[in-house]
Amino acid sequence: MEKLLRNFFLFLASNKQLTKAAKRYGMKFGASRFVAGATLNGALSTIKDLNNQGFSVTIDHLGEFVDNEVEAVEMADHCIQAIKGIARDHLESQLSLKLTSMGLDISHELCLANMRRILDTAKEHGVFITIDAEDHAHTEATLDIFKELKSEYDNIGTVVQAYLYRTVDDLEDLNPYHPRLRIVKGAYKEPPEVAFPDKKDVDQNFKNLITIHLLRGNHTAIATHDDEIIRFTKELVRKHNIGKDQFEFQMLYGIRPERQRQILAEGYNMRIYVPYGEDWYGYNIRRLAERPANVAFVLKGVFGK
Ligand code: FDA
């Protein structure tokens, strides 16, 4: 039943018509639990609050399925405004983005041009940029662009997904770049031809990838709400004497906040992924797919408290 619901939500998340309709009807469906408002100012004040509690942040201007150049340029402008806002307010925040919102589906050159504008501004203000991982159809193009930009800029990292069979090879391919990588399970609906269908294989691969990347001396962000993966990482770093400056835990805004505080209190670096913007639909529905129990929050959003 859980798997059925997951597939249903992931189908909804990938529907372009629904994405556009949701944007028109505003921040409903419990979005505010996982999204720090529709505006940059709202997100900046959330970041300030999180920084005051000791958390680091990565901000994300929500957007996907961008299919025209004007919108892709606008998306990049939003990222530049966010970087300037972070610098102006002296916040401790990185920025995460998706290459499909920078024009990846339109042209390689447009996507690169948007990324270079963002990276130049980010470099000027000392802000680090992470390229999120999307569905497997975009993996190759995303990693190609990452490698091209990484040879020009220091302030860039990306994400690998433990559910993909290819990721262990991607780690080999990326290693010469000594990348700062965020490792996640993977949030999209993927066929068994490309991704492990069973959670236990995904979890085992996650542990394997963390071990390889950390023991090679690379900075690693372990992005998960899964207690077993967190326990495994703590044991690994203790056993190999890996310093706290070489890794961090990351979680999503609004998910397991009490666990986020606990990890911070134990002395680990904890970064919160804070999404904002009008294009909240796909992001929110993927959170429901991860945990259908969150439907209760959605119903609350629709029918009131
Ligand atoms: P899993 O889903 O197995 O959950 C483990 C436990 O955590 C659950 O048993 C539950 O207790 C709790 N939990 C999980 N989800 C919850 C929820 N929604 N509400 C309440 N409790 C919940 N994916 C991707 O494809 N590309 C990307 O770039 C990123 N980026 C990213 C950044 C950060 C900071 C995080 C934390 C995650 C991502 N992801 C992502 C999403 C990731 O791939 C994955 O879908 C989610 O993190 C859920 O998987 P978990 O590792 O948390 O484990």
Centre of ligand 1 from the C-alpha of residue 149, in Å: 27
Cα–ligand 1 centroid distance for 225 (angstroms)? 6
One DSSP character per residue, 51-62 reads: HHHT-EEEEEE-
Pocket probe for ligand 1: among 291, 294, 297, 298, the residue whose CB has the most ligand atoms within 8 Å is 291
Residue 199 is part of which domain span? 36-279
| pLDDT tens per residue across span 75-94 | 999 999 999 999 999 999 99
Nearest alpha-carbon partner for 215 in 246, 185, 184: 246
pLDDT of residue 66: 86
Is there a domain that residue 290 lies in?
no
Q: Position 276: which residue type?
A: Y
User: From ligand 1's centre to the CA of 293, what distance in Å?
Assistant: 14
- Tell me the percentage of the chain whose pLDDT exceeds 90: 75
pLDDT at 63: 78
At 3, list the tokens. Answer: 């798997």
pLDDT of residue 294: 65
Q: Is residue 134 part of a domain?
A: yes
Does some domain include residue 50?
yes
- CATH code where residue 237 lies: 3.20.20.220
Structure tokens belonging to residue 145 = 């662009």
Residue 293 domain flag? no
Residue 222 lies in a domain: yes
Backbone angles phi and psi of 269, in degrees to 5:
-75, 130
Q: Would you tell me how many other CB atoms lie within 10 Å of the CB of residue 92? A: 14
* Within-domain flag for 216: yes
State how far Cα 229 lies from the chain centre.
Answer: 17
List all residues whose CB is within 6 A of at least one atom of ligand 1: 132-133, 159, 161, 182, 184-188, 223-226, 250-252, 255-256, 273, 287, 290-291, 294
| Atom from ligand 1 closest to the CA of residue 294 | 19
Q: Is 60 a catalytic residue?
A: no
What is the full per-residue pLDDT of the chain (305 aa) written as tens digits? 666 666 766 666 666 666 665 555 555 545 567 888 889 999 999 999 999 999 999 999 987 668 899 999 999 999 999 999 999 999 999 999 999 999 999 999 999 999 999 999 999 999 999 999 999 999 999 999 999 999 999 999 999 999 999 999 999 999 999 999 999 999 998 999 999 999 999 999 999 999 999 999 999 999 999 999 999 999 999 999 999 999 999 999 999 999 999 999 999 999 999 999 877 776 777 777 777 666 555 444 433 32
Please answer whether residues 167 and 161 qualify as being in contact, where contact means their C-beta atoms are separated by less than 8 angstroms: yes
Residue 118 within any structural domain of the chain: yes
Distances (CA, A) of 152 to 79, 96, 98, 203, 303: 19, 18, 19, 34, 50
Residue 132 annotated as catalytic = yes
**Nearest residue to 63 (alpha-carbon basis) of 50, 53, 76:** 76
* Residue minimizing CA distance to atom 50 of ligand 1: 224
> Per the residue annotation, which of 60, 105, 180, 182 is the catalytic one?
182
Residue 128: other Cβ atoms inside 10 A: 17
**One-letter amino acid of 42:** G
pLDDT at 252: 94
Read off the tokens for 108: 């390689």
276 contacts 42 by C-beta, under 8 angstroms: yes
Specify the residue with its C-alpha closest to ligand 1, atom 20.
Answer: 255
Atom of ligand 1 nearest to the CA of 286: 45
Residue 7 lies in a domain: no
Q: How many independent structural domains does the chain possess?
A: 1
Choose among 9, 98, 39: nearest CA to 278.
Answer: 39
